[in-house]
């Protein structure tokens, strides 16, 4: 799967981008028709510890899923967003199976 990751208002290191790529590659085990994904990593303007925002847009045939999570670290936010995407992909796959 093609992953387009961008960091907004900060410079992310290569390890973070590799983590994002590896985590999103695991989504293909749940739904193999994923075309691409856009990942935006942002720093929130709040003073709280949970100011790391991960927004993932997943492109699949005839649909797009957008998940936005805010956590203490980018890894935790990406992991949480991917877990939500896993549930959505499983639900979509079940709907497609029910139609056939």
List the CATH number of the domain containing 93: 3.30.160.100
In the chain, DSSP assigns E strands to 2-8, 36-43, 52-60, 63-71
Provide φ and ψ at 4, rounded to 5°: -110, 105
Average pLDDT over residues 14-40: 93
pLDDT above 90 for 24: yes
Average pLDDT over residues 9-31: 92
The residues facing 59 across adjacent strands are: 36, 64
Which of 11-15, 17-21, 36-40, 48-52 is the least confident region? 48-52
Radius of gyration of the chain (CA): 14
The domain containing residue 56 runs over which residues? 2-99
Provide φ and ψ at 99, rounded to 5°: -75, -25
pLDDT above 80 for 100: no
pLDDT above 90 for 77: yes
CA dist 37 and 40 (Å) reads 10
Q: Tally the domains of the chain.
A: 1
């Amino acid at each position: 799967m093609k992953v387009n990751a961008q960091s907004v208002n900060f410079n992310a290191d290569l390890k973070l981008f590799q983590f994002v790529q590896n985590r999103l590659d695991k989504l293909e085990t749940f739904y193999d028709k994923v075309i691409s994904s856009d990942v935006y990593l942002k720093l929130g303007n709040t003073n709280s510890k949970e100011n790391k925002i991960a927004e993932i847009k997943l492109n699949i045939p005839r649909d797009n899923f957008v998940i936005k999570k805010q956590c203490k670290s980018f890894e935790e936010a990406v992991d949480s967003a991917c877990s939500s995407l896993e549930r959505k992909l499983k639900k979509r796959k079940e709907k497609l199976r029910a139609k056939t």
